[in-house]
Amino acid sequence: MDQGTDVTERELDLQTDIPHSARIYDYLLGGKDNYPADRAAAGNIVANWPNLPVSMRANRKFMARMAHHLAAERGIRQFLDIGTGLPTSPNLHEVVQGVAPESRIVYVDNDPIVLVHARALLTSSREGRTGYLDADFRNPDAILESDQLREYLDLSRPVALSLIAILHFITDDAEVRRIIDRLMAPLAPGSVLALSTTTLDNNPEVVAAGVAAYNAHGIPTVARTKPEVETFFNGLEILDPGVVPVHRWHPDEESSRLDDPQVTIHGGIAVKN
């Protein structure tokens, strides 16, 4: 472990009576870090969006395949993962350090529940390092200017910026592009943007109903089309196989058995030349 946190649930107001996106995600993945309000909201959302748990599991597997690919095939040794969410094994650092133990990872999130459990994200190989930064995706300058980021990552060398299942919680496309552009600007050539986000393409009526349910529970959410997602990679070279449903991105045997209407999250990676 490189750095930890002594924060406890008692020291933070987790607002356990209000449903929270990270805890809903945890619940639908079979986790235990959730509360009755989260489980009730999840039940209402899934009633409108029955395949949401399948999409979430497919997204988690996409994260692992993406991280392995970047470490094993592209030689990336530095990862900046924003919108980390609650620890769910395998976490990104476990995947990449399994390939290259010297890899360095900085996790970023601003959710109190994630901060409580951040120690689980800070286990590291002896050769590598993992760190946790309590910061907001909407404030990229605070992330880039943090002492911790500069301590852990060398921005003169390629970095993989990982934005997994976070962009659908920012409803303004222009704001998303502004943030991504700011985060990618100081990264060295050869750096990679990896993202996944909810899309309408595979099952539009069901997704629209599910998104409406999220919004009804006070969690601003949007689903986009594939062309809209592709605009987030403007100025970068999108790599094979492009922006696709996450189960079709370099699929393993389990993912290849899923049907498109079951998975309503698109993902892809692109390189900065």
**Tens-place pLDDT, residues 175-202:** 999 999 999 999 999 999 999 999 999 8
Reported as type and span, the H/E element at residue 192 is: strand 192-198
**Alpha carbons 132 and 122: distance in angstroms, whole number:** 7
**pLDDT at residue number 22:** 86
Check whether domain 62-203+225-272 has CATH 3.40.50.150, yes or no: yes
Q: What is the mean pLDDT of the chain?
A: 91
**pLDDT at residue number 6:** 44
pLDDT band at 12 (very low <50, low <70, confident <90, very high): low
pLDDT of 1 higher than 90: no
pTM over 0.85: yes
Q: Is the peptide bond before 245 cis (omega within 30 degrees of 0)?
A: no
**Alpha carbons 70 and 75: distance in angstroms, whole number:** 6
What letters, b where the CB count within 10 A reaches 16 and e where it falls short, cover 171-205? eeeeebeebbeebbeebeeebbbbbbbbbbbbbee
**Alpha carbons 62 and 10: distance in angstroms, whole number:** 34
